[in-house]
Structure 1
C-alpha cells in the first residue's frame, strides 16, 4: 500500500452487512493503494447513534472516516448515504456508487410498495427478514448458493448491527433522493453496477459507467478481481470516466 493519501479508497458497506464484507477483496488489490473499511455507526463494534435517522449526526460521526483526500466507494445503501453526505462533509476526490442510483425505490426495480412491505416484515421479525435479504440480494450472482456461503463465511449468521440502525437504514433507502445533489456534484461521480443486479432497474444499470459482467448486486463476493481493478483505475485517474480508462488488464 502507498503512503500517498491521493491513492486512498474508503469502502462503505450496505444495509445489513458490516465492513467484514470487504475482506472478499483482500487478495485482489494491486499495489499502491491504501484501502480503508470503516463501519457505519451501529454496525460491528461501533456504537450506534442516539438518532440513527439523523444525517447530520451521521456526518459528525463519520468525518474522520471520510477524508477529503480519499475516494469514497459506497455499495448499495452505503452509496446512497455517501452521496447524501457530500453536502455535509468536505468534498472527496471522487465518489463511487456501486449498485446504487440517485435513489433506491424504482417502479422497474424494487418498487416503493415492495420496500414498504419489506419494512413491515422487518418490524415484525428483524432476524428472519435480515436472513431473507442476505439470500435475496444474491439472486443475480452466477452462483447464488456459493455467493451466500461466501457471505456467511465472512459475516457469520448473526446480525452484527443495531436494530434501530437497520430500521433507520430502511427509512433512508425509502426516503433519500440524491437526484438534485448528483445533477451538479462537487466531485467526479462514478457509477458501477453488476450486469445482472436484481435490485436495480434496467435503466439504472444501463446508465452505469461500467457494468461488471458476471455479477449481480454483490460484486465484492462474485467478482472481486474485476471490482478491485475497476476501483484501482478510478483511484489512479478519478476525473477520468471508466468508459475511457484502459481496462485491458481486466479478465
Structure 2
C-alpha cells in the first residue's frame, strides 16, 4: 500500500510542468519571506485534494490562484510546523544548559543523550505535524484540529505507527535520492564535457563548463526538483492519512 502511495505521488507531482515552474519562481522569491507562505499554502491545497481523493485516482493539481486564501493557509501550516517543533527545541536547550553547568566528561555524555532524545522528538513532531495538517484539511480547515492530539494519535494508530514512521522515513530517503541523482547526473554530463574540452587544451572553456554545470544544477533544483518533491510530500501526507 505504501509503495502504491509513493508511485501515485511520483506520477501526480509531474502532472503539470507549468505549475512546477510557477512554484519554482515562488521558491526563488522566498528570500523575501512572504512568498514562502504561498509555497506552504499550495502544499496545503495538495494535501487537501489528496485527503479528499484516493490512491491512483484522477485528482488534478490544485490551481495557483486565490493568492490571499493561499497565503492564509500557508501561515496556518507554518504555525503548525513551528508549534510542533517547540517541544524538541526546548528539550535540546534544557539538555544543553544542564550539560554546560556540569562540564567535563558529563557534559559530553549528557549532550550525546540530549541529541538522541531531540532527534527522536523531532521525528515524532514531524509525523504529528504532517498528520495534523492533513487532519486540519479533513475538518474544514480548522486550525484547532491540527492540535487535537487525541484524535491525531488515534488516526496514527489506525494507520499503523510503524507504517506511518516507515512511510515518512522512506519519503525522506526518496526525496534525498531525487536531489542526489539529478545533481550528480548534471555534474557528470557537464564534467564529461569539461574533461573532454580540457584534454583538447581548452582549459578556460573546461572551467566554464564546470561552472555552468553547477549553475544549471542549482536552478534545476530550485525551479523543478524543489517544487516536485514538495508536491510529492504533500500528496503522500494526504493519501497516508486516508488509510485510517
Higher relative contact order (CA 8 A, sep 6+): 2
What is the TM-score when the length of structure 2 is the normalising length?
0.27
What is the TM-score when the length of structure 1 is the normalising length?
0.26
Who wins on radius of gyration, i.e. which is larger?
A: 2
- If each structure's helix is expressed as a fraction of its own residues, which one has the higher value? 2
- If each structure's strand is expressed as a fraction of its own residues, which one has the higher value? 1
